[in-house]
Amino acid sequence: MTTANILLNVNSIEVIYNHVILVLKGVSLSVPEGNIVALLGGNGAGKTTTLRAVSNLLHGERGEVTKGSIECRGERIEALTPADLVKRGVVQVMEGRHCFGHLTIEENLMTGSYTRTDGKAAVAQTLEKVYNYFPRLKTRRTSQAAYTSGGEQQMCAIGRALMANPTMVLLDEPSMGLAPQIVDEVFGIVKDLNQREKVTFLLAEQNTNMALRYADFGYILENGRVVMEGAASDLANNEDVKEFYLGISSGERKSFREAKHYRRRKRWLA
Amino acid sequence: MFYRENGQFKTSYKADQQVFAIPQDRWAIFALVVFAFVGVPMLVDEYMFRAILVPFLILSLAALGVNILVGYCGQITLGAGASMAVGAYAAYNFLIRVDGMPALAAILLGGLMAAAVGIVFGVPSLRVRGLYLAVATLAAQFFCDWAFLRIKWFTNNASSGSVSVADISLFGWTISSPTDKYLFCLGILVVFSVMAKNLVRGNMGRQWMAIRDMDVAATVIGIRPMYSKLTAFAVSSFYLGVAGALWGFVNLGSWEPAAFSIDRSLQLLFMVIIGGMGAISGSFFGAAFIVILPIFLNQMLPLVGSLLGLQVSIALVSHVEFIIFGSLIVFFLIVEPHGIARLWATGREKLRLWPFPH
Amino acid sequence: MAFFLETLLGGLMSGMLYSLVALGFVLIFKASGVFNFAQGAMVLFAALAMARFSEWIPAWLGMENLFVANLLAFVVAVAIMFVVAWLIERLALRHLVNQDGATLLMATLGIAYVLDGIGQTIFGSDIYKIDVGMPKEPVMMLESVFEGGILINKEDFIAALIAALLVISLSIFFQKTATGRALRAVADDHQAAQSIGIPLDRIWVIVWCVAGITALVAGIIWGSKLGVQFSLSTIALRALPVVILGGLTSVPGAIIGGLIIGVGEKLSEVYLGPFVGGGIEIWFAYMLALVFLLFRPQGLFGEKIIDRV
């Protein structure tokens, strides 16, 4: 990877939940400024935990980072509160959207600007910008968030994060429970934001196909370890990735009896 | 090292579904029960029985009842004391108004009556949920407080408002000494615990837990919320009613409505939450904690005070007791919001790995 | 008719007093999703602080002026409530982020015990007076309309005014300010609020502090009526039906609920009580609230409970 501006650096972190459950077994990754980096992997691979470790939200889930370090622009950030982190420009969009159900869409967006100190006019400008990216939100601005559709809630969650004027967004499973068309729309906007607003994204995603299409760089997690990393295009062309994550295989259907497949798969899971 | 499951293979579903699937657990529990029946009566003195063991057993039973409703079915109740009161007064009335009524039958009938009342007061749970329900159950609590105080029929027109029951007997065994009381309560508790354990791991328990975890989803897969909520109220109130009757008949002998006030309800809820919601063993842990702690503090504080050379007044002791009790509760909730039972389970997990973590 | 109106008015006034306590509940619930059982203990604690300092301060400073003494005591009491709020956040709430309602409720019960204990250890456990110079003499009203007119307490009237003022300002605070919006967001979802940078610790200190001040106001008014004693902490139980009737999340609901409960209690006690042996006030309030709940499970003005699976 180019040594350009590394925005976020995660050094072999280990995360333990509830003092007994070891989830991350030494994950390292780095996110260069202005990139979209994808974290891929199956269920329980540790994607969400990695993001939570970065954004310091593990505490509420009784998890803690026991080893390793996390740096943002060279500054250690493990001990900061999530609020401090947002002030430094790192915001997480949580898995499953988590909109404030009783607040209207606009109120939801406005809560995102809580940490802003640059005045009302600037906030109003950002709000306008968010509405430009998500015109749907503008039409639903006065309805309570709990009554909007899943896609609108996801957009609301992303928009809410943008209201903090972040340099980096940790985006957790934006495609969860959304129709393919909406997923396309959401990813399109993410790419747009990345290119026009220079927002860096760290993206955890199940939808490997979609993620690799839009990301610059990818990490594949299995069982709490990084098993493969590389430029998104390289990953997308890798035979193993194609077979195990994209569901494309070179020839006819494979059977688990074939030892070759089994050995290859095993290399991933060990 | 000692607590290993390696090499224990289960070859049938039945073996896998046992209450204590691991032989170590099975033997430990068996040994504990035998010790409770045989060993304890030989070891402890009367004061221990009266002040700690009998209250502990009865309150464990009550906590079981609350746990069924709060821990398994997810309906928070602040009216547990009311169910106990109904059980106690109903049992009392059965005993004195029906000739030749055996005490044990009166106690069980008291439990049934409490179950009936519990169903009535459970009806709001069909509409009202969560904390709103918790406050709504206070209606039951205050209504019962009032009814047993003001309606003279319940107390057989006793002028002082308190009722009393002579020593009860069971098939010719008069339960009068503290040891007798202990054994009687222990017997009932063991039977009821086994019943509860089997109830919650059966179909009924699964329905309750489904309602607790997400009632809308449970309804969608065909669980009738009315049926499962009301059965939870009924079963829970039955346990509480029996516990209330025991509390009155065996532990107190004579009592007033104040014995089952809101404080009792809160105390029971404390037991369940500190002990562990949704865990049968949690009820015992919680009851032990709540029963022993105040006694312990009461004994310890003057001692500590005299060591430090301070004159400790009774009022101060009670205030400090309040402070320590409250802080310990908060402390426990912080350390393990899922209660001592979860702490215990975590400890066991660690023991399985010990001495090689991860 | 005059008697009925007098009862009605008496109910309205005592309802206002319930509302004051209920407000504290609503504030904390609305802003953190915590059902604060310690509100009663906070009322007692604040009232004790106020009562004792208004005694101690003149003794220390050797002055006579009642008004200045009360003012100083009030300031000190506010400061104390701030410290209490800060300690509660530091020692308890901070570690309980993202726990469910029942756990938080239990934690506040624990806090209530601690506050009761500490309050009585520091300030003593006798009955104390608060004298803020509220006029106690009754006033006759509407003498022209009815023969004999209606008797009401001036004190009650002032209390009602203060309560109304508090409610109006708090409603505006919640609906119109950025902090108010952040508070509502926290109540909906602790973690999501954290994730977008709302500092939970500061929010909680703010809201417990405001609730503490409400408790102080309630404590002063109740205390000057009934004297400051341990039983003051049980008025929380009297205010609970008010809260659920009005809706746990509604500031105006606390007032309307208080009025309904106050009136219902008084009327039932006077007209229904004699038939069933009296003393029905407490459970009648709960039953009344329960009946309302059956029709509106979220209380009269509470935010609709929204479920999506």
Has residue B84 got a pLDDT over 90? yes
Q: What pLDDT band is residue B117 in, cutting at 50, 70 and 90?
A: very high
**Residue A219: pLDDT band by 50, 70, 90 thresholds?**
very high
Residues 6+ apart with CB under 8 A from A150: A97, A177, A178, A182
Burial C46-66 (b: 16+ CB within 10 A, else e): bbbbbbbbbbebbeeeeeeee
In chain B, count of helices (H) and strands (E)?
Answer: 16, 4
Find chain C residues with C-beta within 8 A of A93's C-beta: 195
Q: Exposed/middle/buried for C179, CB within 10 Å: 0-12, 13-18, 19+?
A: middle
What integer pLDDT is reported at residue C309 of this predicted model?
Answer: 47
Mean pLDDT (chain B) is 85
CA distance C198 to A111: 8
Distance from CA of C166 to the nearest CA of B (A): 24
Residue C77, φ and ψ in degrees, nearest 5? -65, -40
Contact B336, B342 (CB under 8 A): yes
Looking at chain C, the whole-number percentage of residues with pLDDT higher than 70 is 90
Length of chain C, in residues: 309
Q: For residue range B85-105, what is the model confidence (pLDDT) as tens digits?
A: 999 999 999 988 888 788 889
Taking the Cβ of residue B334 and every Cβ of chain C, the question of whether any pair is shorter than 8 Å is answered with yes
Residues A41-53, mean pLDDT to the nearest whole number: 88
Number of Cβ atoms within 10 Å of the Cβ of A253: 5
Least confident interval from B300-309, C85-94, C132-141: C132-141
Average pLDDT over residues B258-271: 88
* Tokens linked to B324: 């320590």
For residues C199 and A118, give the distance between their C-alpha atoms in angstroms, rounded to a whole number: 18
Domain total in chain C: 1
Tell me the shortest Cα–Cα distance from B224 to chain C, in angstroms: 17
pLDDT value for B196:
93
B263-268: long-range pairs with CB below 8 Å, 24+: B263/B81, B264/B80, B264/B81, B264/B84, B265/B77, B265/B78, B265/B79, B265/B80, B265/B81, B265/B82, B265/B141, B266/B78, B266/C109, B267/B59, B268/B59, B268/B62, B268/B63, B268/B66, B268/B80, B268/B81, B268/B240
Residue closest to A220 by CA, chosen among A228, A212, A210:
A228
B111 three-class SS? helix
pLDDT score at C296: 81
Q: Number of CB pairs < 8 Å for A and B?
A: 8
Contacts of C189 in chain A (CB under 8 A): 98, 100-101
B280-307 and B54-66 helices cross at what angle (nearest 10)? 130
Tokens representing residue A250 in the block: 């070179």
Q: For residue C80, give the nearest of C47, C46, C124, C116 by alpha carbon.
A: C46
Residue A22 at interface with chain B, using a CB cutoff of 8 Å: yes
Question: Are A101 and C198 inside 8 Å of each other by CB?
Answer: no
Mean per-residue pLDDT, A122-144: 90
**Stretch C30-53: mean pLDDT:** 87
Backbone torsions φ then ψ of B214, nearest 5 degrees = -165, 100
Give C269→chain B minimum CA distance, Å: 14
How far is the C-alpha of B322 from the C-alpha of C112, rounded, in Å? 9
Q: Which one-letter DSSP state was computed for residue C232?
A: G
List the end-to-end C-alpha distance of chain C, in Å, as a whole number.
Answer: 54
Q: Is the pLDDT of residue C65 over 80?
A: no
Question: Which residues from B are below 8 Å from A18, CB to CB?
Answer: 346
Closest CA to B277 of B131, B69, B91: B69
A252 vs B81, higher pLDDT? B81
The answer to which of A33-47, A142-156, A197-211, C92-106 has the lowest mean pLDDT is C92-106
Q: Tell me the residue range of the domain where C171 lies.
A: 2-233
Is ipTM > 0.85 here?
no
A60 vs B: CB within 8 A: no
Contact of B113 with B85, CB cutoff 8 Å: no
On whether any CB of chain C is under 8 Å from the CB of A100, the answer is: yes
pLDDT cut 70: percent of chain A above it:
90
CA distance B241 to B26: 30
Q: Please report which confidence band the pLDDT of residue C141 belongs to, taking 50, 70 and 90 as the band edges.
A: low
Residue from the list C189, C199, C308 with its beta carbon closest to the beta carbon of A98:
C189
Query: Which chain B residues touch C118 with a CB distance below 8 Å?
Result: 319, 323
- The pLDDT assigned to A2 comes to 46
Q: What is the pLDDT of residues B188-230, one digit of tens each?
A: 999 999 999 999 988 999 999 999 888 888 889 999 989 999 9
Q: Give every CB contact of residue C201 below 8 A, 6+ residues apart in sequence.
A: A81, C89, C94
The alpha carbon of residue C212 is apart from the nearest alpha carbon of chain A, in Å, by 24
Minimum Cα–Cα distance from A115: chain C residue: C197
Residue C151 lies in a domain: yes
B350 contact residues in A (CB cutoff 8 A) = 19-20
Say how far apart CA B269 and CA C37 lie, in whole Å. 13
Contact (CB, 8 A) for B89 and B241: no
Lowest-confidence pick of A11-15, B21-25, B260-264: B21-25
pLDDT of residue B343: 83
Q: Which residues pair with A13 in a beta bridge?
A: A27
The shortest C-alpha distance from C106 to chain B (Å) reads 7
Omega before C138 within 30 of 0, i.e. cis: no
Contact (CB<8Å) C92/B334:
yes
So what's the pLDDT on residue C137? Answer: 67
Q: How far is A255 from chain C (nearest CA, A)?
A: 38
B346 lies within 8 A of chain A by CB: yes
Q: Tell me, what's the pLDDT at B4?
A: 65
Domain boundaries, given as residue ranges, for chain B: 67-260, 262-358
Tell me whether residue C308 is in a domain: no
What's the pLDDT at A201? 93
Mean pLDDT, chain A, as a whole number? 85
Could you tell me if residue A160 is left (phi over 0), alpha (psi between -120 and 50 degrees) or otherwise beta?
Answer: alpha
Q: What is the pLDDT of residues B40-75, one digit of tens each?
A: 777 878 777 888 889 999 999 999 999 999 889 988
Q: Of B145, B217, B273, which has the smallest distance from its Cβ to C103's Cβ?
A: B273
Confidence of residue C150 (pLDDT cuts 50, 70, 90): low
Partners of residue B277 in chain C, C-beta under 8 Å = 102
Residue A1 pLDDT grade (very low, low, confident, very high; cuts 50, 70, 90): very low
Determine what percent of chain B is predicted with pLDDT higher than 90: 27
Amino acid at B299: Q
Mean pLDDT for chain C overall: 82
Q: Please, are residues B72 and B232 in contact by the beta-carbon 8 Å criterion?
A: yes
Nearest by CB: C196 against A61, A144, A161: A161
* Cβ partners under 8 Å of residue C245, min gap 6: C253, C257, C260, C261, C288, C289, C292, C293, C299, C300
User: Does residue B150 sit at the C interface (CB-CB below 8 Å)?
Assistant: yes
The better pLDDT of the pair A30, B175 is held by: A30
Q: CB B53: neighbour CB atoms within 10 A?
A: 22
Query: Is C266 part of a structural domain of the chain?
Result: no
Put simply, whether A259 touches B (Cβ < 8 Å) is no
Neighbours of chain B (3+ CB pairs under 8 A): A, C
pLDDT for C236: 80
Q: What is the pLDDT of residue A252?
A: 59
Does A160 sit within 8 Å of C196, measured CB to CB? Answer: yes
For residue A200, pLDDT beyond 90: yes
Contacts of B358 in chain A (CB under 8 A): 22
Residue contact C109–B270, C-beta within 8 A: yes
Q: Return the exposure string of A230-244: e unless at least 16 CB atoms fall within 10 Å of the residue's CB, then b.
A: bebeebbebeebbbb
Does the beta carbon of A61 lie under 8 angstroms from any beta carbon of chain C? yes
Question: Which residues of chain C lie closer than 8 angstroms to B70, CB-CB?
Answer: 102
A neighbour chains, 3+ CB pairs within 8 Å: B, C
Q: Cβ A100–C188 below 8 Å, yes or no?
A: yes
* 8 A C-beta contact, residue C22 and residue C257: yes
Q: How would you classify the pairing of strands A200-205 and A168-172? A: parallel
Is residue B350 less than 8 Å (CB to CB) from chain A?
Answer: yes
CB C149 within 8 A of CB C1: no
Residue of A nearest to C176 (CA): A107
Among the listed residues B201, B69, B82, B200, the one whose alpha carbon sits nearest the alpha carbon of residue B125? B69
List of chain A residues whose C-beta atoms are within 8 Å of the C-beta of residue C198: 83, 111, 114-115
